[in-house]
Structure 1
């Protein structure tokens, strides 16, 4: 999701347009005077809201849905383009304004489809545009849409488990990063560095992933939420590498950041990961406390997150001989849902956990 380090009239106007509000409606939405909004839109980059109003704008953006974020970033991309005569020409064969609008609409729908793990529909929407125009025919707005499409393709391939190699998440993220670098959008470049660190972790290079996360956790190109996520994922990589106690301390710091930022979904996910770190260190009481918090506070209906929660809960239950059967049932439940939505990376994780289930022949007295 989009974040803004310092609001000016440019960003404020982009948010108003993304919310599809009038000047008066936007003023009412923020709780400020109409003349304040008019001043921002008249002076644009040469004016900046007061610190308290910056915080109000942060909240308005954070509470907006994915479609608003996408429109916001698109309007910002347009606003940052060079003046007329300096930007790339669009050839006669290139896209028209209505095609850009349709492309943006399809990206909004693709974001929703990916959040629901509807991979076939997301792939169909992205496939309508990715091969459609040669990059040399696109102006900066077109290149921005191409980069966003390519990054979403990376998300799709990552969630399907195609992490490295040809036609992988790594390949798509690298391509999107190159375009955003060309466009001079450092925040987007840093977000793709974060996505690339995720696929590095998923491919098993845990030490490299942890180092990359550590650097991104203090990277000023990223917003506070993304930096908190990077910190959380430092802990994830450490825990997977067996350093559970230190991982739990890092994750706890990230959890507090999510609480300060009022990010309930991230806060819930952090408790899920913290639960696994406690399980790894042998502290099953804390592990069960954290996974219960994650289950009770999660606000997403994403099949992916449901699979992750059930997998984590099952893994914790397997650690106690008295609850092994319950753990097996939770893993079976997670596996069925993962298979239904073609979540191959999660299925591999579940199968790996199943290899740790104690056999009846291993029980004392047998």
Structure 2
């Protein structure tokens, strides 16, 4: 939430506009004369409310809801820029105010939660309100770090929506975030962006290139042990998509053991989902069902994306056996409905691809 350490007419005007009140209604709300509010708005930064009136303004802002605070922050930044331009037309606004850093960081935390729930519209509004306000070249190191985090999260959003290539894609956002972290000299973040870019490469169909990048990152000391294990898991994913299912299984099992040692239940669950698909590709449906059952009953988080991925994998396996084809179609239809509801375009395309492949005939099951 925004706070104002020292009110001027500028901040008072931003609060009135954020509350969507007329000058008269705002004056009535504060218990002041209309002439007082009019004076603030005519003089802006050249006038200051009295100390007792500053306390009244503090109270009005403190009681406002989240939507008002968001509008207040945006309007205050816009009005400040306009005032600065009017007095110094050749001077460029140099970056966020002190309170804006805090608000920006809070919005990033909220965006992470929104993305975990696939609330893309809200996450996008939280990110673009800051990315549209500042340019990387105008920011100090603190601001540039927030800019880089925002850009990386925007890449995650675009990736989850299935937009992987092009000027408004996940690849573009990840590349921008990587450049910012490189400028800041934070190698761990740079390596994490390399990992994200490899995921985009895999999603775009360049499996061999993605697998090679994953292999390099799986032994990259810039990354944490968990991120290296994830890179190893994704080596297996790319190999499996490329048809090398048995080797992919061995690589994935090594990553699975690493997640177990690290006590990472969510990653461990995802690893079993990937193993299930690799065994399905190898025609070993018995083991595929065992792995997908483990994936469906483990892990600690629940999100629409996770449900869709698990149901799509489960449906794919069921569809591969003539005896369970009808069940597989039901599960895939359920996954498609959730994917469409939350705008998970890439997942929806994958489900449609699975259905299309089923008409070509499932792999020959190898039961044990």
Shorter-chain TM range is 0.7 to 0.9
* 2:41 alignment counterpart: none
Across the aligned residues of Structure 1 and Structure 2, the Cα RMSD in angstroms comes to: 1.4
1:137-188 CA distance string (max 9 Å, x none): 2110000000000000000000000001110000000000000000000000
SS across alignment from 2:343: coil
Q: CA deviation at 1:356?
A: 2.2
* 2:131 alignment counterpart: 130
TM-score by length of 2: 0.72
1:98-143 CA distance string (max 9 Å, x none): 0000000000000000000000000000011001122232110000
Asked if 1:348 is matched to 2:339, the reply is no
The CA distance in 1 between the partners of 2:354 and 2:136, in whole Å, is 44
Asked if 1:112 is matched to 2:124, the reply is no
* 2:261 alignment counterpart: 260
Which residues of structure 2 form unaligned runs of 5+?
Answer: 1-90, 362-368
* 1:102 alignment counterpart: 103
* 2:205 alignment counterpart: 204
Which residues of structure 1 form unaligned runs of 5+?
Answer: 1-89, 361-366
* 1:12 alignment counterpart: none
1:74-103 CA distance string (max 9 Å, x none): xxxxxxxxxxxxxxxx97642111000000
* 1:147 alignment counterpart: 148
The CA distance in 2 between the partners of 1:267 and 1:302, in whole Å, is 16
SS across alignment from 2:358: coil
Equivalence map 1:236-315=2 (5 Å) = 236-315=237-316
TM-score by length of 1: 0.73
* 2:23 alignment counterpart: none
Equivalent residues, number: 271
The CA distance in 1 between the partners of 2:250 and 2:360, in whole Å, is 33
SS across alignment from 1:128: helix
The CA distance in 2 between the partners of 1:209 and 1:230, in whole Å, is 10
The CA distance in 2 between the partners of 1:107 and 1:126, in whole Å, is 7
Q: Is the 8 A contact 2:171 2:197 kept in 1?
A: yes
Q: Is the 8 A contact 2:95 2:143 kept in 1?
A: no
SS across alignment from 2:131: coil
Greater Rg by CA:
2
Question: Structure 1 runs of 4+ off > 4 angstroms?
Answer: 90-93
The CA distance in 1 between the partners of 2:250 and 2:135, in whole Å, is 48
Q: Is the 8 A contact 2:211 2:239 kept in 1?
A: yes
